[in-house]
Chains A and B, each alone.
Chain A
Amino acid sequence: MNTLKNSPNQDSGEETIDLLRFAVIDKKLNSNSDSFQLCWVRFSPERIDEKELLNRLSEVLVDECYQKSDFFMGSMDFAWNNQWLAQGFKWWAEKQFLPGVTDNLAHTIKEALVLVGGDEFNSIEIASGKGFLFNKSFANKDEIIEYSKYKLFHPLVEKMVVHDLSKLDTPGELLGYPKVKFKLEANELVTVDLNLDDAKLEELSKKRLLALSLKEMQEIKKYYASDKIKKLRASKNMPAMPTDVELEVFAQTWSEHCKHKIFAADIEYEGKKISSLYKTYIKGATNKIRKKRPDLLSVFDDNSGVVKWDEEYAVCFKVETHNSPSALEPYGGALTGILGVNRDILGTGLSAKPIFNTDIFCFAYPHDKSLPVRPKLLPPLVIARGVRLGVQDGGNKSGIPTVNGAVYFHSSYRAKPLVFCGTGGLLRIEKDGRLQYAKHTKTGDRIVVVGGRVGKDGIHGATFSSETMHEGSPVSAVQIGDPFLQKRVIDFILAANEKNLMTGITDNGAGGLSSSVGEMAGITHGATMDLDKVPLKYPGLSDWEIVVSESQERMSVSVDPKDLDAFLALAQDYNVEASDIGHFNTDGYFHITRGDKTVALLDLDFLHDGVPKLSMQAEVHTYESTESSYKLPESGQDYNEALLKLLAHPNISSRESIIRQYDHEVQGASVIKPLMGPGRKAPCDAAVIKPILSQQAGLIVSNGLCPQWSKYDAYLMATMAVDEAVRNACCVGADPKTLSLLDNFCWADPVPSPKNSEGAKRLGQLVRACQGLYDACVAFGAPLISGKDSMKNDFDDGVVKLAIEPTLLVSAMGKMENSDNAVSMEFKQIGDLIYFISAGDASISGSHYSEITGTRDGKLPKVDLKAAPKLYAKLHKAIESQLINSAHDCSEGGTAVCLAECVIGSGLGAKVEIEGNEFALFSEGPSRIIVTVSADKQESFEAHWKKTAGVEVIKLGEVVDSKRLHVGSSIDLSLQDMQEAWHNGVSDIFEVN
């Protein structure tokens, strides 16, 4: 083995540091093996013998069964180039992460080297990367970079250089070690003068990326100008003006993300004042239902909503969005999204164990050539693939099953993709005399941060653009998660809680320590923390950066001082870093020091309650009448062709290519999986798992998302989404009386301003959606237990303005007493009778059929809020008494698609007697379900539905063995043709790695 070293360079004038490049290459395993693993190792030859290092690297990195390591590279040695030239390649390229990007592989390599080589190996630094080989089909280096961008490397987090194999590149032309280097800032207290006029205040907010409005800046200015605060600060030896740390904490705490200012605003709508959409409609709905739901243990207070499961256990559920990060770097954005919501569960009460994930993605059509192409917008296909892979790594590597999800395509998501990541958890209600769904943090408790170290990651989130970065500056705009580190954190936290070592816990997500410690400080009414105690990834972070950094995989824990030693020792056992950084008190301040020196002293009351209320005017929204007007179907429509087209529609086709890449069975609890049936192709409406393996009860997870109705009426969209979530849950057997819902609003900016002419209209849509959500939740008796909003889902680069359709995701969690009674969607046996159960109104307008044919019927669907709850209650009874053999939600594509899916799932056929017209076949509406019933249960089934006002039950036909779907004289298609169309709709988007 041969190695190439850089000429020794001097680090800080003391030790010689050598750089070693090490390549691991598969021995002809694949004939098309055109990539290899590469890593850069910085080491001190005085501490570690080079031979020893090479041996250990081989031991750790090379599997001699099928791999070899190779010498490396460049100007001193032709052997490297020649071996590739001999195999017909013309170029080779190397890529590595930019400085400061989370490098999970490198962390593991180093840990393994220490395992086999001893502690001496702690002194080395490792970066991982990859090498690629290209043949002469590429004319030059630029072509290769263009080809590789987003496919082989992502320019926001990685760097790639190409080398010509016919030349020998000097070490300077090769990639060196991606070391984080930046100017070490003098550790001095920085104050920011707020004695500025309005224009200057606005400028300051913009320049420092504070995202505070003028009104908010004025409020902060006023606070510092008050006599009381002046006196206080003088007495504590603090400057009169805010420190940069204080200003950043205000900006973080008062951010839309953390304070939900739009949902708290005063809104004038239809001449009436609504004081907080959140209090009026969201909490309002839950309060209205609450009396009937004694199982609501903790709603809207904690990191997730907590509901009683049985006498001993509770379950909790939270759904988050990670849209902006996913738009920038889809893999990292989605990965940190799923890991982030996992931490919400871990940070609920005294910690809950994550037991399921659910993920809903909204993308632009990847193959739609009419969508705008902008330099700052990633190609839709790149986004879709990156997001899918990020969630795969996040879920699978954490050992949490992805049991449910959805993918929805709409051209408006070109503005921003929506990435909803949800996680459910299990916790005990009480343990050793303490309620587990509450925090018990008290004065004197230590503040301990657990998990990852702090770097510049995610500071000011996505507003920090890549242009401002220079060589050596750590990447802060985007982050890559470390699911392995987080799995260790989860294992540790759950073990610590088993031993009652914590009094409280919350996660570090948006806003970092500022948010997590700042919020927990509210419990005791005071906290002091020392930034010198916070472990950093690299030196040189300024105080405010440490406070608001969003570095991942961290939890903030309160620990009784008497348990501190045990807590820290347990952390060590679990290979998790834990640091005591301060304590909670009752002083009324969020007090941050650097050693002895105070860098921030913030009045908690003002910090948490001082943000001025927004006051806005909303426009009353009217239907877009042209869309709902009548347009005659073209005569002679071929319904067979229409059905095949619909089955291949990206919103309808099989999700198997995604589902198979997510572990949906780990933890051993699954009952109804995403795909069921004899061919494992039946797309189930909701998931059923057994949270407690030894018990029969089943937990149901489902979702509803209907943005296609927003353009007509956001009220309709919201009621349809609730109905869909409830319907999906009930189709598998959920008891509707047990359902708890989550709301996730994603909107384009609804704050009216001169720059945002659409604001008032969007705000009006938001009001309508909240009203719809309220009415539907109250009607179904299903409380909201948690939610989130993301209100800046638009794009504007000065040339093109784009906005997403108003989107409300409703997620549902419910229970069934006996999971053995759960029902899957596919037809079961020949001779079973097929019924169509429905309530409310359906329409062709707005349907997917309308999208592909242009037909409109001038109607809109409507949820019958009186009849629909009865329908679901009766459906549940029918499932409980085992009257039905299958049930499937009839949604996108209408009845014809629903029947086709039931046939595909079963591998059988169906003969439907009724004569199908367009409306019967393809209209879309709420509260529609297709069920099958054994012939011998026909009488009791029909009797079961007697006297259900507003609910229609029609016998459509029966299950046959023809392997065809016949609907009267309208449709006659073979199982195989339907299956092919349905299966291939999106497989080319997701079947990649």
Chain B
Amino acid sequence: MVSPRAIVLAGDGVNCENETVHALRLGGFEAESQHVSRLLKTGDFLSNSDLLVLPGGFSFGDEIQSGKVLALKIMSRLKEEIEEFVERGKLIIGICNGFQALVNMRLLPGNLQKERKSVSLVHNEQTRFSDTWVDLDIPPSQEGHFFAGLEKIQLPIRHGEGRIVTSLPDQDALLSYCPMFYTEDVNGSLARMAALQNEAGTVLGMMPHPEAYIRWTQHPNWPLMKTRGEDFSCDPPGLIIFRNACQIARHS
């Protein structure tokens, strides 16, 4: 079987491209990272890719607003190509800074920002950057979704600007675009939302880092889990997300 192809954006302050490529390969993709300048130069890279990943990092030093300038850069050159990519049902995942960029590109949440910018990821309520593992609730999701088979998981968050806010009069409208919630209020995010997606479920942005939990010894409590004899032969939740993405990519 031919592996689906994933392109991981790199450069301009993005810094999780290597471990994200590693995770995608474990998940079944043929994956490589590409510098953003090269992608913008050639443009046609999207035509033979199944998944575009905007990984975590501090693009443009997080100056002005996280993900903002990266979004401007991509959309100033590749707006049409990206929109066409999404229309063809191809997949985009934005993680952390990548998620912030997708919201600034107005690809998320779905069509809610079509008219005007109305959703943002802003400074955490505690106004601090925080690297900590969080508990996450995943509402029952359909087969063929990124989070299929997952219910309650833990992943690390590593951000200072992860609080979802909206200027939409109907804030609840956002809820149906959220496939993942923090179980506790960790950053002041509206309704404890940790991720957003589009209507088709093909574009996903999430603040937690799935690529940071693709082996059991990445979990902060793994020594105890090992002492207790927990089963380390199955896939950790982060890796399941990438395997799911691979399944979707095969069928899209």
Seen from chain A, the residues whose Cβ lies within 8 Å of a Cβ on chain B are 29, 59-61, 63-66, 104-105, 107-109, 111-112, 115-116, 392, 396-399, 482-484, 487-488, 491, 495, 573-575, 659-671, 673, 675-678, 680, 693-694, 819-820, 822-824, 826, 828-829, 885-886, 934, 991, 993
Asked whether any CB of chain A lies closer than 8 Å to the CB of B247, the reply is no
B61 x A483 contact (CB < 8 A): yes
B19 x A65 contact (CB < 8 A): no
Cα(A665)–Cα(B227), bound, Å: 23
Nearest 5 CB-CB pairings of A with B: A399-B15, A668-B19, A484-B61, A108-B63, A824-B223
B224 to chain A, nearest CB (A): 5
A112 x B223 contact (CB < 8 A): no
A823 x B223 contact (CB < 8 A): yes
B117 x A65 contact (CB < 8 A): yes
Best-surrounded residue of B11, B41, B223 (most CB of chain A within 10 A):
B223
B65 x A396 contact (CB < 8 A): no
B158 x A663 contact (CB < 8 A): yes
B21-70 contacts to A, CB under 8 A, are 22-23, 35, 37-38, 41, 56-58, 60-65, 68-69
B22 x A668 contact (CB < 8 A): yes
**What is the total number of residues of chain B having a CB less than 8 Å from a CB of chain A?**
60
Asked whether any CB of chain A lies closer than 8 Å to the CB of B118, the reply is yes
A724 to chain B, nearest CB (A): 22
Asked whether any CB of chain A lies closer than 8 Å to the CB of B202, the reply is no
Cα(A631)–Cα(B37), bound, Å: 70
Q: A108-B61, A574-B37, A670-B218 are in contact. List 16 more A-B contacts (CB 8 A).
A: A65-B165, A65-B167, A108-B69, A112-B69, A484-B61, A488-B11, A488-B13, A575-B11, A575-B37, A664-B131, A665-B158, A665-B212, A668-B16, A677-B223, A826-B224, A885-B223
B227 x A678 contact (CB < 8 A): no
Cα(A671)–Cα(B219), bound, Å: 8
Cα(A622)–Cα(B218), bound, Å: 49
A331 to chain B, nearest CB (A): 15
Take A491-B10, A680-B132 as given contacts and tell me if A63 and B65 are in contact as well, using a CB distance cutoff of 8 Å: yes
B128 x A993 contact (CB < 8 A): yes
- Show 6 residue pairs from A and B whose CB-CB distance is below 8 angstroms, ordered by the A residue: A66-B167, A660-B130, A666-B15, A668-B16, A678-B224, A823-B223
Best-surrounded residue of B10, B19, B118, B127 (most CB of chain A within 10 A):
B19
**In the complex, per-residue mask of B191-228: 1 if CB is within 8 Å of any chain A CB, else 0:** 00000000000000000010110100110110110111
A37 to chain B, nearest CB (A): 9
Cα(A66)–Cα(B104), bound, Å: 13
A660 x B132 contact (CB < 8 A): yes
Q: A677 contacts which of B12, B130, B220 (Cβ < 8 Å)?
A: B220
A609 to chain B, nearest CB (A): 42
Chain A residue at minimum C-beta to C-beta distance from B20 = A668
Q: A671 contacts which of B13, B60, B217 (Cβ < 8 Å)?
A: B217
Asked whether any CB of chain A lies closer than 8 Å to the CB of B251, the reply is no
Take A574-B37, A678-B224 as given contacts and tell me if A484 and B158 are in contact as well, using a CB distance cutoff of 8 Å: no
Asked whether any CB of chain A lies closer than 8 Å to the CB of B166, the reply is yes
Asked whether any CB of chain A lies closer than 8 Å to the CB of B88, the reply is no
Asked whether any CB of chain A lies closer than 8 Å to the CB of B72, the reply is yes
Q: B residues within 8 A CB of A886? A: 223
Cα(A484)–Cα(B23), bound, Å: 25
Q: Majority SS of interface residues in chain B?
A: mixed
B64 x A60 contact (CB < 8 A): yes
A65 x B11 contact (CB < 8 A): no
Cα(A694)–Cα(B21), bound, Å: 12
Asked whether any CB of chain A lies closer than 8 Å to the CB of B120, the reply is yes
B131 to chain A, nearest CB (A): 5
B13 x A673 contact (CB < 8 A): no
Q: B residues within 8 A CB of A482? A: 61
A105 x B218 contact (CB < 8 A): no
Asked whether any CB of chain A lies closer than 8 Å to the CB of B76, the reply is yes
A116 x B76 contact (CB < 8 A): yes
Asked whether any CB of chain A lies closer than 8 Å to the CB of B156, the reply is yes
Q: A residues within 8 A CB of B131? A: 659-665
Cα(A162)–Cα(B184), bound, Å: 41
B64 x A105 contact (CB < 8 A): yes
B63 x A105 contact (CB < 8 A): yes
Q: B residues within 8 A CB of A487? A: 13, 15, 58, 61
Asked whether any CB of chain A lies closer than 8 Å to the CB of B176, the reply is no
Q: B residues within 8 A CB of A668? A: 16, 18-19, 22-23, 211-212, 214, 218
Q: A63 contacts which of B58, B120, B156 (Cβ < 8 Å)?
A: B120
Q: A residues within 8 A CB of B119? A: 65
Q: A residues within 8 A CB of B104? A: 63
A66 x B122 contact (CB < 8 A): yes
A65 to chain B, nearest CB (A): 4
Cα(A574)–Cα(B35), bound, Å: 8
B117 x A64 contact (CB < 8 A): yes
B120 to chain A, nearest CB (A): 4
Chain A residue at minimum C-beta to C-beta distance from B38 = A573
Take A115-B73, A666-B15 as given contacts and tell me if A676 and B63 are in contact as well, using a CB distance cutoff of 8 Å: no
Q: A residues within 8 A CB of B37? A: 573-575
B221 x A111 contact (CB < 8 A): no
B67-105 contacts to A, CB under 8 A, are 68-69, 72-73, 76, 104
A570 to chain B, nearest CB (A): 10
B68 x A63 contact (CB < 8 A): yes
B175 to chain A, nearest CB (A): 17
Q: A399 contacts which of B16, B72, B156, B166 (Cβ < 8 Å)?
A: B16
A715 to chain B, nearest CB (A): 37
Chain A residue at minimum C-beta to C-beta distance from B168 = A65
B25 to chain A, nearest CB (A): 9
Cα(A668)–Cα(B210), bound, Å: 10
Cα(A338)–Cα(B90), bound, Å: 40
Q: B residues within 8 A CB of A59? A: 72
Cα(A29)–Cα(B188), bound, Å: 12
